[in-house]
Amino acid sequence: MDESGTYQQTNISIVKDSYVIALQVAKAKKPHTTGESLLKPCTVYSVRLVLGEESSQKMKLISLSNNTIKNRDAKMSENIKENMVSKVMSSPFFSLQIDESTDVTNIAQLLAFCRYITDKGIEEKFLFCRQLEMTTKSVDVLAVVADFFEESGPSWNKLEGVFSDGGLICLVHDQDSLLL
């Protein structure tokens, strides 16, 4: 690094650009390989035409490999989850809306939405989607929710209600558990 910090700033810009492109690939629902196989060659070529060879060489430094895009997606996803859980944990209480669904590969998924209080009022956001390993019975649903709570940190004591599409749900604070 030189005294002005130019090298460090360049590296930060390259990594930031990699995240921006990874986000665009994810929003477009395109394969991770799109960055390296399509976007990078087109961008390098366009930059060379418009800004010259020196700028084109800088564009080549942006890593857009399949693994890089996949890792960027995973880090952004983890950051979103941490922010969401932080908001839920800072709320005085929250509720869950849960439902199971079967994906295109015939695997049962549990979807959970959370309603909580912020300084802006009541917010409702997607909390998680997890595979139901065994069945869609209430015991298995509870196990998936419990695993998420254990690994992510929301408190059972702040959970005021759980809603689903048909099963009887009762919240028992004394036992720190749900009866489904």
* pTM for this model (two decimals): 0.68
Alpha helices in 2-126 (DSSP H): 6-27, 34, 40-51, 53-59, 66-90
Question: What sign does the dihedral 141-123-102-28 (CA atoms) show?
Answer: negative
**pLDDT digits 0-9 by tens, 16-52:** 888 888 888 888 888 888 878 887 787 878 878 888 8
pLDDT top residue among 59 and 120: 120
- On the question of pLDDT at 3 being above 70, the answer is no
Which residues, in sequence order, are CB contacts of 160 under 8 Å at separation 6+? 93, 94, 95, 171
The confidence band for 9, taking pLDDT boundaries of 50, 70 and 90, is low
Query: How far is the CA of 96 from the CAs of 110, 170, 173, 179, in angstroms?
Result: 12, 12, 15, 14
- On the question of pLDDT at 73 being above 50, the answer is yes
Average pLDDT over residues 90-98: 88
